[in-house]
Amino acid sequence: MVDYYSRISSRARSLKPSEIREILSLTEGKDIISLAGGLPGPEVFPKEKLASISKRVIEEFGDKSLQYSPTLGVSHFREEVSKFVTSKGVKVNEDDVVTITTGSQEALFLLGLSLIDPGDSIIIEAPTYLAALNTFKFFGADFISIPIDEGGMKVETIEDEIKKAIDAGKKVKLIYTVPTAHNPTGVIMNDERRRQLIDVANKYDLLVVEDDPYSYFVFDTEERFVSLKTLDTEDRVMYLGTFSKILSPGLRLGYLIAPSKVVRSVELAKQIVDLHTSTLAQYIAMYALKEGVVGETIENARKVYRTKRDVLVDALESYLPEGSEYYKPKGGLFAFIYLPGSIDTTSMLMKAIERGVAYVPGRNFFADGSGSNALRINFSYPSIEKLREGVRRICELVKEEINVA
């Protein structure tokens, strides 16, 4: 038999299996309350309307919607996406190009491939979106971790960190941020820091990746926060969006809005990665945009998630042991909780699963090994009853662990 192990490329060997996935794979098929994923609540999917749209786009435009399509995406759909984000206050410049990607994960991958050389430094929030961390790591990035508070990334500390990095001979390439309804903490970067961030990017000639899956789900204000892309005057900001949270993740549609010079590389990379994204999915989302289904889904999901957020906060207030800390999520799908004492949430996860509940250990959201006493809880997917019961089980376990220690 073939010794495959010796044939695996050195690139692929650097891919480490995620410990969470390993543990969570144990939960498959079991009756476990999962607060681990980042899934939309299926009750917000506009099933009937999408069923009708799918039927129509195949019947009426099947010659095109079932056919191959351009690498950057279906032109009309790209225009609709541009109109949509513009209507949400995101500035699209004349030189910007909309690229449709197979989920925003692919946009991260294509940007990583296009921009990151091994050893390049990337400024991130600590904690940050774990899949972005893993993707950039694959391309050999180093990370500069900037702490956050209720007002988002502590942008005022970036400049010192950049200076240190430059002194250490590092090439600081870009800032990656989820400024609005941050994953995993649900905080929102305040306007002053947004301006500061653009200033520091200008001053140090840095690129900025603004990842924006959650700005449609801000719960306590009708205000929309100004996007970094809109504040940018020097074409530094590349903007990532997704249909996963505002329509359906099963369509697997994300988008990248970025200056043509970057997109040139992204397009060449996408040609060899997957040639193009599902044409049919693009047609479905295009008509969901045109016919207001995306707008309705956002409105509905925002209400549903706000209720669930309130249930979560209520459950946390009831059950969390004293000394725990978290920010009440202002938006998004998650809360991030620091537990008191020396609890290790990674080793605790196995026990939680035995009690029928799963979460993501905090360590996975940091590049520097911190967060071992933290955990992320998702509130968009579970039912209200399961959410409350899941939180109760986790907190009960945490209290026992504290007492043992």
Please state the closest distance from residue 72 (CB atom) to its own copies, in A.
11
Choose the stretch contacting its own copies; rule: CB under 8 A; options: 82-90, 133-141, 286-294, 307-315.
Answer: 133-141
DSSP 368: S
Is 337 one of the binding residues for its own copies (CB under 8 A)? no
Question: Should residue 298 be labelled a site residue for its own copies when binding is judged by CB under 8 A?
Answer: no
State which of positions 338-397 bind its own copies (CB under 8 A). Answer: none
Comparing CB distances to its own copies, the nearer of 2 and 168 is 2
Longest dimension (CA), the chain: 65
Cβ distance to its own copies smaller for residue 227 or 242:
242
Near its own copies in 142-181, by CB under 8 A = 173
Among residues 99, 277, 346, 378, the one that binds its own copies under rule CB under 8 A: 277
For residues 29-58, which are near its own copies according to CB under 8 A? 37, 39-40, 42, 45, 47-48, 50-52, 54-56, 58
Q: Which is nearer to its own copies, 102 or 373 (CB)?
A: 102
Q: Does 18 bind its own copies (CB under 8 A)?
A: yes
Query: Binders of its own copies: how many residues, by CB under 8 A?
Result: 87
Q: Which is nearer to its own copies, 212 or 401 (CB)?
A: 212
- Residue of 281, 316, 357, 360 interacting with its own copies (CB under 8 A): 281
State which of residues 209, 262, 288, 343 lies at the interface with its own copies (CB under 8 A).
262
Contacts of residue 143, defined as CB under 8 A and 6 or more positions apart, other chains included, come to: 121, 122, 123, 124, 133, 136, 367, 368
User: Which window, 82-90, 213-221, 260-268, 307-315, contacts its own copies (CB under 8 A)?
Assistant: 260-268
Give the DSSP H or E segment for 272: helix 260-273
- Taking the complex as a whole, the smallest distance from the CB of residue 319 to its own copies amounts, in Å, to 28
11 is a site residue for its own copies (CB under 8 A): yes
Q: In the structure encoding, which two tokens stand for residue 211, read together? A: 């990842």
Nearer to its own copies, 188 or 284 (CB): 284
Structure tokens at 253: 């549609």
β-pair partners for 152: 149
The verdict on 93 binding its own copies (CB under 8 A) reads no
- Collapsing DSSP to helix, strand or coil, 68 comes out as coil
Q: What is the CA radius of gyration of the chain?
A: 21
Q: Given the DSSP bridges, would you call strands 334-338 and 374-378 parallel, antiparallel or unpaired?
A: antiparallel
DSSP annotation of 229: H
Interacting positions 200-259 with its own copies (CB under 8 A)? 205, 207, 234-236, 244, 248-252, 259
Whichever of 221 and 271 has its CB closer to its own copies, that residue is: 271
Note whether 102 binds its own copies by CB under 8 A: yes
Distance in angstroms (rounded) separating the CA atoms of residues 237 and 396: 44
Of 10 and 403, nearer to its own copies (C-beta) is 10
Among 85, 116, 294, 311, binds its own copies (CB under 8 A): 116
The 55-74 site mask, x for binding its own copies (CB under 8 A), equals: xx-xx--xxxxxxxx-----
Provide φ and ψ at 307, rounded to 5°: -60, -45
> In the chain, what is the straight-line distance between the N-terminal and C-terminal CA atoms, in Å?
49
Residue 260 CB coordination number (10 Å): 13
How many residues are recorded in the chain? 405
Q: Least distance in Å: CB of 276 to its own copies?
A: 7
Nearest to 100 by CA among 341, 281, 287: 281
What residue has token string 């945490």? 398
How does 40-58 read in b/e, with b if 16+ C-beta sit within 10 Å?
bbeebbbeebbeebbeebe
Q: Which is nearer to its own copies, 249 or 340 (CB)?
A: 249
Among the residues of 66-102, which ranges form H helices? 75-87
